[in-house]
């Protein structure tokens, strides 16, 4: 009886051990090696450096409030903005009074920071993303900030606009996604004085 039970269970035990080895060790190791060889920049967190010092990740937004910088999308993470350990949105619906008040407050702050900003303000400058960590803004959101940045830096609007356009990422295949820019990348170029 014991021998029959052992003979019945043996193939299952061998398969369990084999698949544990393959899916638990071999496959992850092959993927890890391939990622580090083929996608080294991405596998290490898409980190951006300035003069050899890491200043952030291309994938996680940062808060910028200096008028000389491009400002990103608001963050709803807690206990502080762009907290990668607490990625989340506000979960406030479009008719929620708290969201409407936050949006009005953000619009007022943008207009106070730039008196020339009298037209419509792109929605991504006044609403938080679902993750609260969005590192990119739409081209429209970047373009409305050009006069403020140019004035604060003593640059021409054309120079700031050209720098933003240089960083523009167009929709994939011309259809999927929205034209956008990475806020940190633009700000790094603004700070290093590279004008295109």
Residues 168 and 100: their CA atoms lie apart, in Å, by: 30
User: Which range in 55-69, 122-136, 153-167 is most confidently predicted, on average pLDDT?
Assistant: 153-167
Query: What is the CA 151 to chain-centroid distance, rounded?
Result: 27
Q: Would you place residue 1 in the very low, low, confident or very high pLDDT band (cuts 50, 70, 90)?
A: low
CB 159 within 8 A of CB 150: yes
Q: What's the pTM?
A: 0.76
Least confident residue range of 31-40, 118-127, 157-166, 178-187: 31-40
Confidence (pLDDT) at 196: 40
Q: Would you place residue 34 in the very low, low, confident or very high pLDDT band (cuts 50, 70, 90)?
A: confident
Residue 196 or 93, more confident: 93
Residues 163 and 171: their CA atoms lie apart, in Å, by: 18
Burial 100-123, CB ≥16 within 10 A → b, else e: eebbeebeeebeeebeebeeebbe
Instruction: Reply yes or no on whether the pLDDT at 115 is more than 80.
Output: yes
Instruction: Reply yes or no on whether the pLDDT at 99 is more than 90.
Output: no
Q: Encode pLDDT of 172-196 as tens digits.
A: 887 788 889 999 999 999 988 654 4
Kindly calculate the radius of gyration of the chain based on its CA atoms and give it in whole angstroms: 24
- Region 98-121: mean pLDDT is 91
């Amino acid at each position: 009886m014991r021998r029959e039970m052992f003979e019945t269970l043996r193939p299952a035990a061998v398969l369990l051990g084999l698949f544990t080895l393959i899916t638990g060790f071999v496959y992850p190791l092959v993927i890890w090696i391939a990622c580090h060889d083929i996608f080294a920049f991405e596998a290490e967190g898409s980190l951006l450096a300035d003069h050899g010092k890491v200043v952030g990740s291309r994938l996680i937004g940062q808060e910028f409030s200096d008028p000389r910088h491009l400002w990103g999308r608001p963050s709803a993470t807690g206990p502080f903005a762009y907290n990668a350990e607490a990625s989340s949105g506000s979960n406030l619906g479009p008719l929620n009074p708290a969201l409407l008040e936050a949006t009005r407050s953000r619009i007022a702050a943008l207009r106070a920071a730039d008196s020339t900003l009298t037209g419509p303000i792109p929605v991504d400058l006044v609403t938080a993303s679902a993750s609260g960590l969005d590192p990119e803004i739409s081209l429209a959101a970047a373009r409305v900030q050009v006069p403020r940045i140019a004035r604060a830096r003593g640059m021409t609007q054309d120079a700031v606009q050209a720098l933003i356009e240089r960083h523009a990422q167009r929709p994939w295949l011309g259809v999927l996604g929205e034209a956008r820019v990475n806020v940190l990348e633009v700000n790094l170029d603004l700070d290093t004085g590279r004008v295109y």
